[in-house]
Structure 1
Amino acid sequence: MNYETTIDADSALALEPLPTSEKRSTRRKWIIGVGAALALGLAWWLMHDSGASDAVAKPQDQVVTVIVPGKATIVGTITASGTLAARREMPVGVAGEGGQVVQVLVDAGDWVRAGQVLAVIDRSVQTQQIASQSANIAVADADARLAQANLDRALKLVEKGFISKADIDRLTATRDAAVARVRVARAGLGELGARAARLNIVAPAAGLVLTRAVEPGQVVGAGSGVLFSLARDGQLEMQARLSEADIGRLAVGNSAEVTPVGTTRVFTGQIWQLSPTIDQQSREGIARIALNYDAALRPGGFASATLRSGTITAPQLPESAIMSDDKGSFVYIVGDDKKAQRRDVKTGEVSASGIAVVQGLSGNERIVLRAGGFLNAGDRVQPVVAQPAASQPAASK
């Protein structure tokens, strides 16, 4: 049986197989679409899974820099200011009755020896007195010789019975009185000579003339005050003013470096005396620093000093590691549990190398170097150990 089937053009085209190139293009598009859908799904899952994990995970630990300082030998220093002066100043004035100055032989800045004449006072009157007394000695000496001669003659006559024993006693007494008058006259001459010698103003010891307050023609006396001021042996000193706490840290023999105002030169000296008392008004004491003579050191000038107050062995930390509050100074220490712990400390010497911790640390702790202001006791941290700065002293455990 024959059937006739009618097929239109569109149906014929639909039933007709696709070309090979079009098949490949369609497959590629399908694969790309599936891949994109899988990527979007994975991203969505990761986003939601991460959020869920954060909801149950612990907060991230703060990273902090820590340092193990060890212990170092620290030289204590104290800075002070004060004035320069003669270590032993000798004021020189009129020792005798005074008079008019006729000659001044030295000036400020001169070196003199012990007993050297500094100035001469007119002695014309004293010269005449000495001459008169010398004549009195001659008269007394002549009287003594005459009395002795009379006694000698009488002793020869007494043997013959011409002179009595009483006459001999009288002549002996006359001779003794004449000899005594000679001694009195000579003592008087010595006194006048000593008085005249005191008209010379002399140096009591060797040293450097600091000031001169007398000129030729000036009339001076016992009330004229200081005419010359000398530094014994040229020794100088700095009188450093210190607080009660600082002076208690020093000892005689400690070294010091002195820098006078107006110069960059540094002079090395030693403390030779510490004030036994404290000024009630300023609450300060004086450390006297012995210095050798130098023309750049001028008594009366101002100077600054750096004094060595001994050494201590202690941990030394940068300023950033030490904090303070109303309870005092403290640091944060990171323990084995990686938690920040507060440790109260007592600080000491402050220098360019850091701050010495004299109490509270052994030096083996891990101390938060920076960012301590953002920590609280008990916070978990991630410590990162920093190497000590090259400028810090080598730590010794």
Structure 2
Amino acid sequence: MSDQTTPHSVPPQRLLSFAGIAGALAALVILATGSAVRAKASHQLKDWTEAQAVPVVKTIEPIAPASGGALNLPGRLESFTDAPIYARVNGYLKSWRVDIGDHVKAGQVLASIDTPELDQQLLQAKADLASAQADAALAKTSAERWQALLSSDSVSRQEVDDRTQDFAQKKARVAAAQANVDRLVAMKAFATIVAPFDGVVTARNTDVGALIDAGSSSHAQLFSVSSVDRLRVYVHVPQSYAPMVKPGGTANFTVPEYPGQRFTANVVGLADAVNASSGTTLVQLQADNPGHRLMPGSFVTLHFALPALAGAMRIPASALIFDEQGLRVATLDAQGEVRFKPVAIQQDLGNAVDIGSGLAASDRVIDTPPDGLNEGDHVRVDGTDSAGNTGGTSDKAAHHG
């Protein structure tokens, strides 16, 4: 029996060749696909890296300030009227009738001084006055008598003139003695110490029996009386702000003992001179003090509302650049390129500044410009894509003011 071959059968060697070719083709396809994916990923990475290399900035629009902001300065309260009371005569303190914190009226007795030496001087002066008056009366009688005798030629004209002159001298001595008595009486009035005006006693530095030596250069005040119904407020205003504070204006102030409460004071005068050592000018204000809640000598914080400056543009202080080229701001032109502009500050408000020159309302100012930014650099505004399509709007400078 002989072997018979099937016409459609394939030899095993050919099957293996076909399988190898198919595997090779598949490997080529896989390699090609992987290369394409890697090339695309590399291109995307390059695009992303280039996009990230463009700085992203935030822009703001300068605005014309509606107000000049607030100027906060330390100040102090003083009595509207303050009088230290000193002794005018020597002696010993006999009694005192008021103490610190007492409210007094004008003319009210504060204390009395015992003046034994002055009392004796006054008695002697009155005796001298009485003696001078007696001498003057006798001289007057003699002068009149001698004047009557002159008509009968019993005495000479010279003797009459002598008597008349003696009377004139005695009258002058009476006037001198009377003036001495009046002086001592006036001095005696100072033995009673009275309040010069309505107010409150803020100091008492004496006691009963204390030696009062009015002639000593080191003698201390006995009392201090202050008028506190109305207070004066003093504050030193920097020279650059002095023209903005004018008489007739108002200011608010706060004190530590009343947190959260504001009091009002009126500007009544300026020193019209700048202190060379501090560069400030002294401003005086007045404030009502109903209920005497505020105390003289207290420190206060004054708050002045400043007017807006003409032509000023307000931007946040974070937009300023200060380097070797001076004070500048970075802006964006229509092509999205950086342009630096020199500016001058007209007023510093802390977190914002008013620019006096160098900016226009149409400028787009870069807020917090990144380091290394150069003239002509391309940047991307926060809220836009790499093609420059806007996804948001820039902030107003008022948000920073």
Normalising by structure 1, report the TM-score.
Answer: 0.70
Match of 2:220 in 1: 225
The answer as to whether partners of 1:332 and 1:372 remain within 8 angstroms in 2 is no
Whole-angstrom CA distance in 2 between matches of 1:125 and 1:233: 38
**Which residue identity lines up with residue 339 of structure 2 in the other structure?**
Q
Whole-angstrom CA distance in 2 between matches of 1:289 and 1:174: 63
**Which residue identity lines up with residue 95 of structure 1 in the other structure?**
R
Name structure 2 gaps, 5 residues minimum: 1-5, 8-31, 382-391
Match of 1:297 in 2: 294
The answer as to whether partners of 1:333 and 1:343 remain within 8 angstroms in 2 is yes
| Residue 89 of structure 1: how far off its partner (Å) | 4.1
Whole-angstrom CA distance in 1 between matches of 2:325 and 2:209: 73
Match of 1:148 in 2: 140
Match of 2:334 in 1: 336
**Which residue identity lines up with residue 266 of structure 1 in the other structure?**
R
Q: 2:179 aligns with which of 174, 187, 190?
A: 187
The answer as to whether partners of 2:239 and 2:274 remain within 8 angstroms in 1 is no
SS in 2 for 1:312: coil
Q: 1:315 aligns with which of 286, 300, 313?
A: 313
SS in 2 for 1:385: coil
The answer as to whether partners of 2:331 and 2:363 remain within 8 angstroms in 1 is yes
| Residue 343 of structure 1: how far off its partner (Å) | 2.5
**Which residue identity lines up with residue 187 of structure 2 in the other structure?**
R
Match of 2:264 in 1: 268
**Higher deviation after alignment, 284-293 or 119-128:** 284-293
Q: Does residue 66 of the first structure (1) align with residue 66 of the second (2)?
A: no
| Residue 130 of structure 1: how far off its partner (Å) | 2.8
SS in 1 for 2:193: strand
Match of 2:396 in 1: 388
Whole-angstrom CA distance in 2 between matches of 1:149 and 1:91: 53
Q: Does residue 172 of the first structure (1) align with residue 164 of the second (2)?
A: yes
SS in 1 for 2:242: coil
Whole-angstrom CA distance in 2 between matches of 1:47 and 1:216: 106
The answer as to whether partners of 2:231 and 2:286 remain within 8 angstroms in 1 is yes
| Residue 62 of structure 1: how far off its partner (Å) | 5.9
Whole-angstrom CA distance in 2 between matches of 1:377 and 1:256: 45
The answer as to whether partners of 2:314 and 2:398 remain within 8 angstroms in 1 is no
**Which residue identity lines up with residue 134 of structure 1 in the other structure?**
K
**Which residue identity lines up with residue 355 of structure 1 in the other structure?**
V
Q: Does residue 363 of the first structure (1) align with residue 361 of the second (2)?
A: yes
Larger radius of gyration: 1
Match of 2:85 in 1: 92
Q: Residues 8-65 of structure 1: CA distance to partner in whole angstroms, max 9, x if unpaired?
A: xx99xxxxxxxxxxxxxxxxxxxxxxxxxxxxx9999899689779989995566644
Whole-angstrom CA distance in 2 between matches of 1:371 and 1:170: 108
SS in 1 for 2:143: helix
Cα pair distance change 1:58/1:180, threshold 3 Å: closer
Aligned residues: 353
Whole-angstrom CA distance in 1 between matches of 2:239 and 2:110: 40
SS in 1 for 2:163: helix
Cα pair distance change 1:64/1:136, threshold 3 Å: closer
Whole-angstrom CA distance in 1 between matches of 2:342 and 2:374: 14
Whole-angstrom CA distance in 2 between matches of 1:387 and 1:177: 98
Identity of aligned residues (%): 24
Cα pair distance change 1:142/1:377, threshold 3 Å: same
Q: 1:159 aligns with which of 125, 128, 151?
A: 151
**Higher deviation after alignment, 323-332 or 57-66:** 57-66
The answer as to whether partners of 1:338 and 1:381 remain within 8 angstroms in 2 is yes
**Which residue identity lines up with residue 192 of structure 2 in the other structure?**
N
Q: Residues 132-182 of structure 1: CA distance to partner in whole angstroms, max 9, x if unpaired?
A: 433433343333333333333344444344444444334323333332232
Residues 209-248 of structure 1 mapped to structure 2, 5 A cutoff: 209-222=201-214, 223=216, 224-231=219-226, 236-240=231-235, 246-248=238-240
| Residue 220 of structure 1: how far off its partner (Å) | 1.6
**Which residue identity lines up with residue 195 of structure 1 in the other structure?**
M
In angstroms, what is the RMSD of aligned CA positions? 4.3
